[in-house]
Amino acid sequence: MLFMFPGQGSQKIGMGKDLYDNFPSARSVFQEVDDALEYHLSRLIFDGSAEELRATANVQPALMAVGMACFSVLKNDFSPEILNKVKFLAGHSLGEYTALCVGGVISLADTARLLRVRGQAMAAACPDTGAMAAIIGLEVDVLENLLETENTNESIVQVANDNCYGQVVISGHGKAVEKAMQKSLDMGAKKAILLDVSGPFHSRLMESALDALARAMEPLEFHNPVRPVISNVTAAGESGNFKELLLRQVTSMVRWRESIEFSLEHAVTRLVEIGSGRVLTGLAKRIAPDVECCSLGSPESIEKFASCFC
Domains located in the chain, CATH noted: 2-125+206-309 (3.40.366.10), 130-197 (3.30.70.250)
Q: What is the pLDDT of residues 223-267, one digit of tens each?
A: 999 999 999 999 999 999 999 999 999 999 999 999 999 999 999
**How many angstroms separate the CA atoms of 88 and 262, rounded?**
10
pLDDT in the model for residue 308? 83
pLDDT in the model for residue 196? 84
Q: What is the pLDDT of residues 128-159, one digit of tens each?
A: 779 999 999 999 999 999 898 877 777 899 99
pTM exceeding the 0.85 threshold for the entire prediction: yes
Indicate the helix (H) or strand (E) that contains 4.
Answer: strand 2-5
**How many angstroms separate the CA atoms of 243 and 245, rounded?**
5
pLDDT in the model for residue 285? 96
Active site residues: 93, 202
pLDDT in the model for residue 124? 92
pLDDT in the model for residue 152? 74
pLDDT in the model for residue 112? 98
pLDDT under 50: residue ranges of the chain: none
DSSP string of 134-151, one letter each residue: EEES--HHHHHHHHHTT-
Q: Are 184 and 139 in contact (CB under 8 A)?
A: no
pLDDT in the model for residue 258? 98
Phi, psi of 148 (to 5 degrees): -60, -35
Q: Which residues contact 59 (CB under 8 A, 6 or more apart)?
A: 8, 11, 53, 119
pLDDT in the model for residue 197? 85
Report the side by side order of strands in the sheet with 130-136: 157-164, 167-173, 130-136, 191-194
pLDDT in the model for residue 310? 63
pLDDT in the model for residue 11? 95
Q: Is the dihedral of CA 204, 205, 208, 210 positive or negative?
A: negative
